[in-house]
Chain A
Amino acid sequence: MKQVKTTNFGDRFFSFFTFCAAMVVLVSLAGIFISLIFESWESLSRFGFFNFIFTDDWNPVKEVFGAAIPLVGTFITTILALLIAIPISLGIAVFITEICPSKLKAPLSIAIELLAAIPSIIYGMWGLFTFAPIMSEYIEPGLQFVFGDIPFIGPIFQGTPLGIDVLTASIVLSIMIIPFISSIARDTILLTPQVLKESAYSIGTTEWEVIKDVILPYSKFGIYGGIIIALGRALGETMAVAFVLGNRHAFPTSFFDATSTITVTLANEFTEADSNLYMSSLYLLSLLLFVISFIVLSFAKFIVHKGSKKWNG
């Protein structure tokens, strides 16, 4: 687009100001990236990037640091949280927009937005003091009882259900991201043109078929957008998970195993890092999270953009 040249001082000042404001974003992004590289350099040159990623040892005493376990922990909790949160959020959004009586709409929407406003440390504390005991006493033994003996999936329900584990952390995380997905899903569902729904009804569809085949496909890309935001949230979420995941440096083999994520390791160990290499390795972990978030989010955005262009014109 061609810029319109203006001679008015106020206009020029204003456009200069907005330009500076926009530059702040780029400069801080670049600044953070550069300082992460700088700080993690010692660890990076010692272990090498790929070696760091694939090493499953995290041993400050022997000064061996590898990211494999926190990486896997991050992916598992994020994916599980999304798997739990997506169907629930869609249910909430569809209920609010299409099914619930109009008197309930506003209170429900507000409740969900309040859920998003709760600081994550409160989720963490609630998870530790209220939810984890419930999990270990009722839910996890129940799951173990039902699924524990089934071939193939049985093993992932083994172990002592202590409540501080992958499953609890993923559920707490999912509760945190439900508001993001459901409120964005609600907004995009509301954008479905009334006449599109009516034309579906007009060929003899039921309410459920209209939701499933017209409303959800139509708002699909908006919903993906909400999922992306939630994904970003879940990848980087620290406090809610730190309390209920355990920070154990071992791969989880069951839902009831404690493990660690990148953020949990960072939160727990920054104060303990007593050597330069230890500190630098923690920085390398953050760099890794930075890069992963960046790649995942840009890739997801790209897909959404391409898809919505193709199908929604």
Chain B
Amino acid sequence: MPGNKNIKLYSKNLSFFYGNNQAVFDVSIEIPQHSIVAMIGPSGCGKTTFLRCFNRMHDLYPGNRYQGEIFFDNQNILSKNIDVTLLRSKIGMVFQKPTPFPMSISDNISYGLKLNGIKNKTEIKDRVESALRSSALWKEVKDRLKLPATGLSGGQQQRLVIARALAVEPQVMLFDEPTSALDPISTSKIEELAAELKKKVTIIIVTHNMQQAARISDYTAFMYMGKLIEYDETNVMFTNPQEKLSEDYITGRFG
């Protein structure tokens, strides 16, 4: 569908099972590089489940099963011999609720760097700063880097978490309703941030907020009961959806 753009990530006939309970049905989708793809759909339709396939988060729990393929830079990341830890450092994720680690602000960010083998103190310091700058948090926290991250406001914590994910230089970022717990000002800061980030990374964002999807995304995917119903450029999707279901959902007739 997204023309002849460079495809960073795509799934082919992806299904997902929680034990015997199938939550994603045969989804094929292409994610173009340096774009923002919004996933919308009613609660329980499988957006989170689908998103978490891309960094194999489901591997953490027993009984979960993938079927089909996901290609990331033309490598099937669902295959057995993939280094999941390495994969996750390339495909970052931000959750609904901010999750700062129980450490200081700067340690929250330097932690991932140290894991990736960066030991040089000045390099760490520089990269902490640049990560905080790129998540538009630097000005607010530069005088309190050594203080506990739990002391930040919810919006600041969420931007810290984004900075933390960015510090390890992922190529893809997965956002699962990143602003649903935040106030409008923090929300718009994070939306601006996403627009800025797409120069560097490819973004998939799950959102319940139709305006948000329309504002920031290039493509929108509508899911319903575990299936991908429609996937198109965002402006087409919101002005001229092809499927009746998508139209009903977008115009608020159900959801």
Interface residues of A (CB under 8 A from B): 102, 193, 195-206, 209, 213-214, 217-218, 220, 310-313
How far, in whole Å, are A220 and B103 apart by their CA atoms in the complex? 12
Question: Which listed residue, B62, B102, B148, B164, touches A203 by the CB 8 Å rule?
Answer: B164
Q: Mark out the residues of chain B between 136 and 158 whose CB falls within 8 Å of any chain A CB in the assembled complex.
A: 148, 150-151
Name the CB-closest residue of A to B170.
Answer: A203
Given known pairs A195-B97, A195-B99, A311-B102, the reply for A203 and B165 (CB within 8 Å) is yes
Contacts of B164 in A (CB 8 A): 203
- Whether A204 contacts B57 by the Cβ 8 Å rule is no
Residues of chain A within 8 A (CB-CB) of B55 are 202
Q: Could you say which of B60, B93, B96, B148 contacts A310, with CB atoms under 8 Å apart?
A: B148
Please name 4 further chain A to chain B contacts, defined as beta carbons within 8 Å, in addition to the given A199-B95, A199-B101, A205-B115, sorted by A numbering.
A198-B93, A199-B94, A203-B112, A203-B164
Q: Which residue of A lies closest to B164 (CB)?
A: A203
Judge whether B88 and A201 touch: CB under 8 Å.
Answer: yes
The residues of B that contact A204 with a CB separation of less than 8 Å are 85-90, 112, 115-116, 168
Residues facing A in B36-85 (CB within 8 A) are: 55, 57, 60, 62, 85
Q: Are A200 and B101 in contact (CB under 8 A)?
A: yes
Given contacts A311-B148, A312-B102, contact A195 B89 (CB under 8 A): no
In the complex the two chains form, what is the Cα distance from A312 to B148 in whole Å?
A: 8
Contacts of A218 in B (CB 8 A): 101-102
The chain B residue with its CB closest to the CB of A310 is B148
**Interface set, chain B 106-144, CB cutoff 8 A to A:** 111-112, 115-116
| CA of A202 to CA of B102, assembled, Å | 16
Which of B96, B116, B165 contacts A202, CB < 8 Å? B165
- Give 21 CB contacts A-B under 8 Å: A102-B62, A195-B99, A198-B57, A198-B60, A199-B101, A199-B161, A201-B60, A201-B88, A202-B57, A202-B92, A203-B89, A203-B165, A203-B168, A204-B87, A204-B88, A204-B90, A204-B112, A205-B115, A214-B102, A312-B150, A313-B150
CA distance A196 to B157 in the complex (A): 13
How far, in whole Å, are A202 and B111 apart by their CA atoms in the complex?
13
CA A268 to CA B30, docked complex, whole Å: 80
- Tell me the minimal C-beta distance from A94 to chain B in angstroms: 16
Q: Which 6 A-B pairs have the closest CB atoms?
A: A204-B89, A202-B93, A313-B150, A199-B99, A204-B88, A203-B112
When distances are taken between beta carbons in the complex, the residues of chain B under 8 Å from A205 are 85, 112, 115
- The interface residues of chain A lying within 8 Å CB-to-CB of B103 are 217
Residues on B close to A: CB < 8 A?
A: 55, 57, 60, 62, 85-90, 92-97, 99, 101-103, 111-112, 115-116, 148, 150-151, 161, 164-165, 168
Query: Nearest residue in B to A220 (C-beta to C-beta)?
Result: B102
A218 nearest CB neighbor, chain B only? B102
In whole angstroms, what is the CA distance A198 to B98 when docked? 12
Kindly list chain A residues whose C-beta atoms are within 8 Å of the C-beta of B148: 310-311, 313
Chain A residues, Cβ within 8 Å of B93: 198-199, 202
Residues of A within 8 A of B115 (CB): 203-205, 209
Contact B88 A217 (CB under 8 A): no
Bound Cα distance from A159 to B85, whole angstroms: 52
What are the residues of chain A within 8 A of B90 when measuring CB–CB? 204
User: In whole angstroms, how far apart are the Cα atoms of A301 and B102 in the complex?
Assistant: 20
- CA–CA, A118 to B92, complex, Å? 49
Contacts of B96 in A (CB 8 A): 195
Q: Is there an interface contact between B150 and A311, defined as CB atoms closer than 8 Å? A: yes
Q: Taking the nearest CB of chain B, how far is it from the CB of A162, in angstroms? A: 46
CA distance A203 to B160 in the complex (A): 13
Q: How far is the CA of A219 from the CA of B2 in the complex (A)?
A: 47
Kindly provide the distance from the CB of B183 to the nearest chain A CB, expressed in whole angstroms.
Answer: 18
Report Cα–Cα, A88/B45, bound state, in Å: 45
Task: List, in ascending order, chain B residues with CB within 8 A of A202's CB.
Answer: 55, 57, 88, 92-93, 165
Give the nearest-CB partner of B97 in chain A: A195
The answer for the CA separation of A202 and B151 in the assembled complex, in Å, is 23
Q: Tell me whether A195 and B95 are in contact (CB under 8 A).
A: yes
Closest B residue to A102 by CB, please name it.
B62
A213 close to B101 (CB less than 8 A): yes
Q: Smallest distance from the beta carbon of A10 to chain B beta carbons, Å?
A: 43
CA distance A310 to B150 in the complex (A): 9
Closest to A214 in B: B101
Residues of A near B112 (CB, < 8 A) are 203-205
A contact residues around B62 at 8 Å (CB) = 102
Contact present for B101 and A201 (CB under 8 Å): no
Minimum CB distance partner of A198 in chain B: B57
Known: A310-B148, A311-B148, A313-B151. A203 touches B92 (CB 8 A): yes
Chain A contacts of B92 at CB under 8 A? 202-203
Report the Cα distance A209→B85, complex, angstroms.
Answer: 11
Residue of B nearest to A217 (CB): B102
Contacts of B95 in A (CB 8 A): 195, 198-199
What CA separation (Å) do A82 and B241 show in the bound complex? 67
Residues of B within 8 Å of A203, CB to CB, are: 88-89, 92, 111-112, 115, 164-165, 168
List the A side residues contacting B87 at CB < 8 Å.
204
